[in-house]
Amino acid sequence: MFERYSEVISKTALFHGIEREDIAAMLNCLKPRVCSFNRNDFIVTEGDAFESIGIILKGEATVSKENAAGNRIVMTLLKQGDIFGEIVAFSSHTTWPATVQAQEPCEVLFLPRGEIVGECDRISPWHRTLIQNFLHIISERALMLNKKVEYLTIKSMRGKISTYLLEQYKRTGDKNIILPLNRNELSDFLNVSRPSMSREMCRMRDEGVIDFHLTAFRILDIEALKAMSVL
């Protein structure tokens, strides 16, 4: 049943280090289901009963929440192989904390919460690896959210952009940077509007601080960028 998805499933972080034949046995044990969604369909809705974590097998989807004023805020974009719902799986929460909506036709694998968190009837050797992968994913997500909180404390648009570019530079030591996020994803991550972000980037380019084309950036004045990061 899941053979057509084996390539995608085997490459997801949740199944890292588990052989394909073991994944096939695992899926039989975990009793997952695959659902298809059209563009703009709601995959899950905030407040719905939480029963399974999801893995995007095909397509893209957004994760969003509504604020107190009723405005929709996009939190992240999910692509093929991405997992959602992992933060809730080991908690006492019984409802989805956010809405997941298909941006294009999607196929999603749902893994029952109880089958992952509980012990497998067969005490399968892959269950420990699965839980370790799960905890690693949750830790990485927590670190990302912590970093996002740091960006929320930066008041200016220029400060957010400069700090992000400096962090990418520190990872490689190279002033030529290929951003891991596209413009839409970056604006969501920094919690700013894309048009405003693009205008500020253009101003920084005109001032000779950076140069860029699409996701390729070059830092021209590292000291100026450092000074801007504290604004």
Which one has a higher pLDDT value, 123 or 220? 220
The label of the residue with tokens 């407040």 reads: 47
**What is the tally of structural domains in the chain?**
2
At residue 123, does pLDDT exceed 80? no
How many angstroms separate the CA atoms of 84 and 70, rounded?
A: 23
How many other C-beta atoms can be found within 10 angstroms of the C-beta atom of residue 45? 12
Q: Is residue 149 very low, low, confident or very high in pLDDT (cuts 50, 70, 90)?
A: confident
Query: Given 131, 151, 171, which residue is the final one in a domain?
Result: 151
Query: Given 103, 134, 151, which residue is the final one in a domain?
Result: 151
Mean predicted lDDT score pLDDT of the chain = 87
Whether residue 144 contacts residue 33, with contact meaning beta carbons closer than 8 Å, is answered with no
Q: What are phi and psi of 180, to 5 degrees?
A: -75, -10
Same domain assignment for residues 9 and 95: yes
Same domain assignment for residues 87 and 76: yes
How do residues 60-74 score in pLDDT, each as one tens digit?
Answer: 999 988 877 777 777
Same domain assignment for residues 60 and 81: yes
pLDDT score at 171: 86
Q: State the residue range of the domain holding 165.
A: 154-228
Whether residue 115 contacts residue 30, with contact meaning beta carbons closer than 8 Å, is answered with yes
Residues near 78 by beta carbon (within 8 Å), at least 6 away in sequence: 56, 60, 61, 62, 63, 84, 100
Same domain assignment for residues 105 and 124: yes
| β-pair type (176-178, 216-219) | antiparallel
How do residues 167-188 score in pLDDT, each as one tens digit?
Answer: 999 988 999 999 888 888 888 8
pLDDT score at 119: 55
How do residues 18-42 score in pLDDT, each as one tens digit?
Answer: 888 888 888 888 889 999 999 999 9
Same domain assignment for residues 36 and 94: yes
The label of the residue with tokens 């005109």 reads: 206
Same domain assignment for residues 108 and 9: yes
Residues near 12 by beta carbon (within 8 Å), at least 6 away in sequence: 55, 81, 82, 83
pLDDT score at 132: 87
Same domain assignment for residues 124 and 19: yes
- The DSSP letter of residue 50 is P
